[in-house]
C-alpha cells in the first residue's frame, strides 16, 4: 500500500490500514512510503507544477509498474480523470469538508493588510473575494511546515482543510468557514483507495467503499470532469445528502476575487448529470 510520507498522509494510510484489518481474511498490508515531486519541490506554486496530480501521479506510476498494489490519496488531490489503467476502488467515510482559518481571530476580524497564506488557487480567490483588504501569499509545505510558519509569525493566518487538522489531532485555535458560502474543493475530506483496474484481488477490499460518501464525491468529480476544470481555475464543488437526492453547490471565481458565480441544485436520483453540467455551463457562460 503506497502513500506519501507526510504526517497527514501517514495518518490517512493508518486509517486505511485499520479499515482493511477490519475486513475478513486477516489482511495485513505493508505500507510503502513514496516521495512525489510535490513533496520534493516545496517552493514552486502548485498550479505551476501541474496542479492536480502533483501528489498522486507518481503513486499511479508505482501502481502500474506493480511496485505497489494500492495507493492511498486525499481525493481532492486527484485529477477528475483517472490515470488510464487505474480505478477508484473505494472511498472511506468522509471527514469534515470545510476549510478553516488558523488564526487568533475569525476571518471577518482580521486587521486590514494581514498576511494570509495558502497554496490553493481556490482559497486565494476566496480570500480576495471576501476580504479584498488582506494580503494573500503563497504557502507551500506539509501541514506541519505550514503550521510552524504561522506559529513563528510569518503569517497572521493560514487556510487549511479541517479534515487534515482533525486527522493529526491538532488542537490549535481555528475557525471553521461555512462551506455553503466558501465552497470546498471537489473530494475534500475524503480518502481514496486506488488500484490497477485489472487487479481483481483488490475486489476483496470493495466493502470499504462508503456508499453515501461515494455518491457525493462521484458527483463532484463528474462536475469537474464535465467542465474540464483544471487546478488553475478557482472553483469549489460540494455535494451533500438531501432528502430527495444530492444538494450540489458550486462556486466559480475570478482569480483576483472580483466576481463569483454560484450554482445550486438538488440532483435527483437518476437525473442525467451531463444535462445538469450543460445547465451550469449556460448559467455561467462557461467556455472551458
211-227 helix and 273-284 helix, angle to the nearest 10 degrees: 50
Res 49: pLDDT: 45
Query: Could you read off the pLDDT of 208-229 as tens digits, one per residue?
Result: 999 999 999 999 999 999 999 9
Strands (DSSP E) found in 75-200? 86-91, 99-102, 115-118, 135-138, 157-161, 174-176, 191-196
Q: Residue 165's domain spans which residues?
A: 99-176
Residue 222 falls within a domain, yes or no? no
Q: How far is CA 153 from CA 114, 128, 166, 251, in A?
A: 11, 21, 22, 31
Establish how many alpha carbons lie within 13 A of residue 47's alpha carbon, considering only the half-sphere containing its beta carbon: 16
Residue 75 falls within a domain, yes or no? no
Residue 149 falls within a domain, yes or no? yes
- Reported pTM: 0.92
Cβ–Cβ under 8 Å, residues 125 and 256: yes
> Which candidate in 41, 77, 133, 197 is catalytic?
77
Residue 144 falls within a domain, yes or no? yes
Residue 50 falls within a domain, yes or no? no
Res 42: pLDDT: 53
Give burial (CB, 10 Å; 0-12/13-18/19+) of 178: exposed
Res 51: pLDDT: 53
**Angle at CA 115, nearest 5°, toward 104 and 157?**
30
DSSP β-ladder status, 157-161 and 99-102: antiparallel
Where b means 16+ CB within 10 Å and e means fewer, 114-152 reads bbbbbbbbbbbbbbbbebeebebeebbbbbeebbebbee
Partners of 90 in beta bridges: 193
Residue 25 falls within a domain, yes or no? no
Query: Could you read off the pLDDT of 112-153 as tens digits, one per residue?
Result: 999 999 999 999 999 999 999 999 999 988 899 999 999 999
Residue 157 falls within a domain, yes or no? yes
Give burial (CB, 10 Å; 0-12/13-18/19+) of 281: middle
Write the CATH number for 166: 3.40.190.10
Q: Which band of pLDDT confidence, cut at 50, 70 and 90, is reported for residue 232?
A: confident
Query: Could you read off the pLDDT of 32-87 as tens digits, one per residue?
Result: 999 865 555 555 555 554 555 667 888 999 999 999 999 999 999 999 899 999 99
Cβ–Cβ under 8 Å, residues 37 and 54: yes
Q: How many domains does the chain have?
A: 1
Query: Which own/partner contact pairs does 44-49 have at CB distance under 8 Å and 24+ positions apart?
Result: 44/140, 45/119, 45/138, 45/140, 46/119, 46/120, 46/121, 46/140, 46/231, 47/121, 47/231, 47/232
Verify whether residue 77 is a known catalytic residue: yes
Residue 81 falls within a domain, yes or no? no
Give the three-state DSSP class for 262. Answer: strand
Amino acid at each position: 500500500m503506497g502513500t506519501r510520507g507526510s504526517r497527514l498522509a501517514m495518518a490517512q494510510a493508518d486509517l486505511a490500514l485499520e479499515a482493511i484489518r477490519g475486513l475478513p481474511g486477516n489482511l495485513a498490508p505493508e505500507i510503502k512510503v513514496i516521495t512525489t515531486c510535490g513533496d520534493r519541490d516545496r517552493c514552486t506554486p502548485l498550479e505551476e507544477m501541474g496542479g492536480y496530480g502533483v501528489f498522486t501521479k507518481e503513486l499511479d506510476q508505482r501502481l502500474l509498474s506493480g511496485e505497489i498494489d494500492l495507493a492511498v490519496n486525499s481525493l481532492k488531490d486527484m485529477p477528475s480523470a483517472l490515470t488510464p489503467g487505474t480505478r477508484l476502488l473505494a472511498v472511506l467515510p468522509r471527514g469534515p469538508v470545510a476549510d478553516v482559518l488558523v488564526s487568533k481571530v475569525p476571518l471577518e476580524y482580521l486587521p486590514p493588510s494581514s498576511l494570509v497564506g495558502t497554496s490553493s488557487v481556490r482559497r486565494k480567490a476566496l480570500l480576495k473575494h471576501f476580504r479584498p483588504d488582506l494580503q494573500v501569499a503563497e504557502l507551500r509545505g506539509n501541514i506541519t511546515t505550514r503550521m510552524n510558519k504561522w506559529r513563528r509569525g510569518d503569517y497572521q493566518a493560514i487556510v487549511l482543510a479541517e479534515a487534515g487538522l482533525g486527522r493529526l489531532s491538532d488542537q490549535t485555535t481555528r475557525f471553521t468557514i461555512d462551506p455553503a458560502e466558501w465552497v470546498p474543493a471537489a473530494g475534500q475530506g475524503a480518502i481514496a483507495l486506488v488500484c490497477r483496474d485489472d487487479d481483481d484481488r483488490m475486489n476483496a477490499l470493495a466493502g470499504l467503499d462508503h456508499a453515501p460518501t461515494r455518491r457525493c464525491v462521484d458527483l463532484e468529480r463528474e462536475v469537474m470532469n464535465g467542465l474540464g476544470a483544471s487546478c488553475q481555475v478557482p472553483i469549489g464543488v460540494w455535494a451533500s445528502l438531501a432528502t430527495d437526492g444530492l444538494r450540489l453547490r458550486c462556486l466559480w471565481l475570478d482569480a483576483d476575487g472580483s466576481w463569483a458565480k454560484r450554482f445550486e441544485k438538488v440532483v435527483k436520483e437518476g437525473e442525467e448529470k451531463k444535462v445538469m453540467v450543460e445547465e451550469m455551463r449556460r448559467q455561467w457562460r462557461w467556455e472551458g
